[in-house]
Chains A and B, each alone.
Chain A
Amino acid sequence: MIKEILMPILSLGGMSIVFGAGLAFASQKFAVDSDPREEEVREVLPGVNCGACGYPGCDGFAAAVVTGDAPVAGCPVGGARVAQQIGDIMGLEVGDINRRIAKVLCAGDCEKAPQKYHYQGIEDCVAASLIADGPKECSYGCLGLGTCVNACPFDAIYINDKGIAVVDEDKCTSCEKCVAACPKNLIEMVPVSSQVQVLCKSEDKGKDVKNSCKVGCIGCRICEKVCKFDAIVVDNNVARIDYDKCVNCMVCAENCPTKSIYADFDNRKIAFIEEDKCTGCTACKRACKFNAIEGNVKEVHIVIEDKCTGCQECIKKCRFDAIIMK
């Protein structure tokens, strides 16, 4: 009886010990020296293996960073903080990284955009969009069924109480999974510093847009005309902002007849000239495209608050650091 219990334990245990010892010996004999920095880089990475960097997982990225194939700032999820840490490990300087976040470019919530039918299928935008382009009257609009929410590994997207997906800026890591998941291609990456976005992607004609949504872009080109920086262009009946050119002056949003351009008016700042630093060189006055700065040569200039849009062109021109944003 005892023998029947002991024998398997001993034989299997013995085999395990022999194999274990053999492997332990082999692991020392065949040890491969790897760059210790690789492990350090791996330590500071987020470790979610999302693949947004273009390498197979965080390990692959760490190896590529150490060999110099991948840029130090190549991890979009870790952002500036991780880039800094990797830079420290690799002994490299890290330039300014403009973090980009996902933005859902639709504002046609249940109050503003009517439905053409009542959808009762599975809770998935892809499924819903197969049926006559989705329940919304506007075939470009956010369906609010949460395909992007499910795709987000970081809990950074939620559907608000009016049925529109919203990205939490603080949680977004720019992994771009939601961008790929949205069947309406409504989610785009925008610079986190951008305060103005066109929240509409409808390419319908203006009349059709008006019928299907209260806040849709009708392609009237008013924004294109009022923009002094050529940063907004209407193409295919929908306005698009060039974020490299946009200076967040928010003039387009002020003039948009359907209010389809979103601007963060609450955080709008205007220029202020510090009297003791201003030399009256008139450079800012000449730079201002909105005639918002007054003053004569060799006199202190002042900003007319009602006219200033906060575009910061004057700051770029001032050589005496006399202008600040308030």
Chain B
Amino acid sequence: MEYLGKLFMILLSTLLVNNFVLSRFLGICPFLGVSKKVSTALGMGAAVTFVMALASLITYIIQYAILQALGLEYLQTIAFILVIAALVQFVEMVIQKTSPTLYQALGVYLPLITTNCAVLGVAIINIQEGYDLLQTLINGTGAALGFTLALVLMAGIRERLELSDIPEPLKGFPITLITAGLMSVAFLGFQGLIK
């Protein structure tokens, strides 16, 4: 029971308190780039969730089965990037074959995940926190869901911003960055939710 409680804590913490985009400031690029429409934001979120969960799992195995067994912890970064890049390529191929519609919807965002620092970030945080396999999986999924949450919230706001009267110099990215900052401040409110 205590273990289950801890899993829930991890999920809540990575989803809200340590939200990847708004508290850890990882994955800002897709956060600004793919948050123009709620539908694409959801698609990107789904792709990232899939890749993050899988990447967490595989990097965990690699870390403990290969790197730590051979005493090569210093190769962590490069090995993880290798895993993520290969994984994204693989996911892209599978999606293209199995669901062309989803492939079309995700479009260019899929390959973009390769270089997404949030994916590498979650893999490294998993190791740093010393999570076990299940916790790693929960943390990876939770982080991705948090990423999706931030993305969809932002997209919703930006869809409304499109229609509102914004001073000329603030149009486009300036107002988006200000919005992102305010959202981040709002998410700071979750700090202290978990002791």
Give A residues with C-beta under 8 Å from B.
7-8, 11-12, 15-16, 19-20, 22-23, 26-27, 30-32
Evaluate contact between B82 and A16: CB separation under 8 angstroms: yes
Shortest A246–chain B CB gap in Å is 38
Known: A11-B70, A15-B82. A26 touches B75 (CB 8 A): no
Q: Is B66 an interface residue (CB 8 A)?
A: yes
15 A–B contacts, CB within 8 A, in A order: A7-B72, A8-B75, A11-B66, A11-B75, A12-B78, A15-B83, A19-B83, A19-B86, A23-B89, A26-B93, A27-B93, A30-B96, A32-B96, A32-B97, A32-B100
Q: Is B62 an interface residue (CB 8 A)?
A: yes
Evaluate contact between A19 and B96: CB separation under 8 angstroms: no
Shortest B173–chain A CB gap in Å is 17
Q: Is B105 an interface residue (CB 8 A)?
A: no
Q: Is B9 an interface residue (CB 8 A)?
A: no
Shortest B136–chain A CB gap in Å is 19
Which residues from B are CB-within-8-Å of A31?
Answer: 97
Whose C-beta in chain A lies nearest to the C-beta of B66?
Answer: A11
Which residues from A are CB-within-8-Å of B94?
Answer: 26, 30
Q: Is B90 an interface residue (CB 8 A)?
A: yes
B-side interface size class: 20 to 34
Which residues from A are CB-within-8-Å of B90?
Answer: 22-23, 26
Evaluate contact between A11 and B82: CB separation under 8 angstroms: no
Which residues from A are CB-within-8-Å of B112?
Answer: none
Which residues from B are CB-within-8-Å of A27?
Answer: 93
Q: Which of A8, A12, A26 touches B82 (beta carbons < 8 Å)?
A: A12
Whose C-beta in chain B lies nearest to the C-beta of A31?
Answer: B97
Shortest B187–chain A CB gap in Å is 33
Among B78-107, those with CB < 8 Å from A are: 78-79, 82-83, 86, 89-90, 93-94, 96-98, 100
A20 to B98, CA, bound (A): 21
A31 to B94, CA, bound (A): 9
Which residues from B are CB-within-8-Å of A12?
Answer: 75, 78-79, 82
Which residues from B are CB-within-8-Å of A26?
Answer: 90, 93-94
Which residues from A are CB-within-8-Å of B86?
Answer: 19-20, 22-23
Known: A15-B82, A22-B90. A30 touches B75 (CB 8 A): no
A16 to B89, CA, bound (A): 13
Q: Which of B79, B89, B98 touches A15 (beta carbons < 8 Å)?
A: B79
Shortest B101–chain A CB gap in Å is 13
7 more A-B contacts (CB under 8 A) besides A7-B70, A12-B82, A23-B90?
Answer: A7-B72, A11-B70, A19-B86, A23-B86, A30-B96, A31-B97, A32-B97
Shortest B70–chain A CB gap in Å is 6
Known: A26-B90, A30-B94, A30-B96. A15 touches B62 (CB 8 A): yes
Evaluate contact between B93 and A8: CB separation under 8 angstroms: no
Shortest B120–chain A CB gap in Å is 16
Which residues from A are CB-within-8-Å of B100?
Answer: 32
Which residues from A are CB-within-8-Å of B71?
Answer: 7
Shortest A55–chain B CB gap in Å is 13
Shortest B32–chain A CB gap in Å is 19
Shortest A35–chain B CB gap in Å is 13
**Top 8 A-B pairs ranked by shortest CB distance?**
A19-B86, A30-B97, A30-B93, A26-B93, A32-B96, A8-B72, A7-B70, A23-B89
Among B96-124, those with CB < 8 Å from A are: 96-98, 100
A26 to B97, CA, bound (A): 10
